[in-house]
Amino acid sequence: MVAALTTFLALRAGAQQPAPIDSMAWRVQACSACHGDQGRATPEGYFPRLAGKPADYLFRQMQNFRDGRRNHTQMRYLMAHLTDDYLREMAGFFARREVPYPPPLQPQAGAQALARGEALVRQGDAARGLPACVACHGTAMTGVLPAVPGLLGLSRDYLNSQLGAWRTGQRHAQDPDCMAAIAQKLSAPEVAAVSAWLAAQPVPEGGKPATQPSGPAPMACAGLAAAAWEAR
C-alpha cells in the first residue's frame, strides 16, 4: 500500500507540473480560458473545440480572425501580430491533441425540426442547389484532411451563431466562400434545425477527420482546394 501510494503521489505531482516555459503548450495557455484545457471545449459552452481539428482548417481560421474576415474582438486582438508561420505552429499543436469527446446534450428541438435538420445534413436540397453537409464534411461528419472541419462535438449555440453569421454576411472566408453561398439559401428555422440536430449527435471514431473525401467536391470552395479533392 505504501508503495502504491508513493507511486500515485509521484504521478500526480508529475501531471500537475506546468508546461516548460517557452514551449507551445505554455504559449497557448491563454486559449484554454475559452476553449478549455488542450482545446477540448464542452458541448454546453459557446466556444468551439480546437483539439483534433485539421491543422489547415485551424490555420485558416486564425488567419481569418487576424485579417478581419471573422469578427471577434478577443480573437482579433490575440492574432493581430502573429505571423503565418507562428499560426501554423499553433494550429499543429491543437491538431495533434487527442482528448476524448464528452457525450452530447439531449436534443434541443422538437422531432419535426430534428428530422428537417438531419435531411439537410445528409441529403441537402437539390432543388435549391444546396449540397448535403456530408458531401464536404465527410460521411461521419468528423471533417476531412487537410482543411475541412468536423461538425460534431460543437454546441448548438455555436453552430447556430456561425451559420447565422454566414447567412447575414457577418462571417467570411477566403474566396470562393462556399459556406456563405450555402448559408444564404437557408431560412432561419432551417439553420436552427441543422444546428440542433448536429449538436445532438455523438462523435464517432474518436472524432478523427477522414483522410480522403467520399466523392467529388459539390462546388467551388476555398476549404476544398486541397490535394485530396484536386486529385479527383
Over residues 163-209, the pLDDT tens digits come to 999 999 999 998 999 999 999 999 999 999 999 999 999 999 889 99
pLDDT for 154: 95
Q: Does residue 8 belong to any structural domain of this protein? A: no
Q: Does residue 109 belong to any structural domain of this protein? A: yes
pLDDT for 214: 84
Q: Does residue 4 belong to any structural domain of this protein? A: no
Query: How many domains is the chain built from?
Result: 1
Q: Does residue 156 belong to any structural domain of this protein? A: yes
The answer, yes or no, to whether residue 226 has pLDDT greater than 80, is no
CATH number for 26 = 1.10.760.10
Distance CA 193, CA 112 (A): 9
Percentage above 70 pLDDT, the chain = 88
Distances (CA, A) of 219 to 78, 184, 198, 223: 33, 15, 22, 11
Distance CA 49, CA 115 (A): 25
Distance CA 165, CA 163 (A): 5
Residue range 30-41, pLDDT digits in tens: 899 999 999 999
Q: Does residue 97 belong to any structural domain of this protein? A: yes
Q: Does residue 63 belong to any structural domain of this protein? A: yes
**What is the mean pLDDT of the segment spanning 51-76?**
95
Range of the domain at 46: 13-230
Q: Does residue 5 belong to any structural domain of this protein? A: no
The answer, yes or no, to whether residue 6 has pLDDT greater than 50, is no
Cell numbers 486559449 correspond to what residue?
31
- pLDDT-derived band at 17 (thresholds 50, 70, 90) equals low
Q: Phi and psi at residue 70, in whole multiples of 5°?
A: -120, 145
Distance CA 52, CA 33 (A): 18
DSSP 189: H
DSSP 3-state of 230: helix
**What is the mean pLDDT of the segment spanning 200-225?**
90
Q: Does residue 6 belong to any structural domain of this protein? A: no
pTM of the model: 0.86
pLDDT for 8: 42
**What is the mean pLDDT of the segment spanning 138-157?**
95
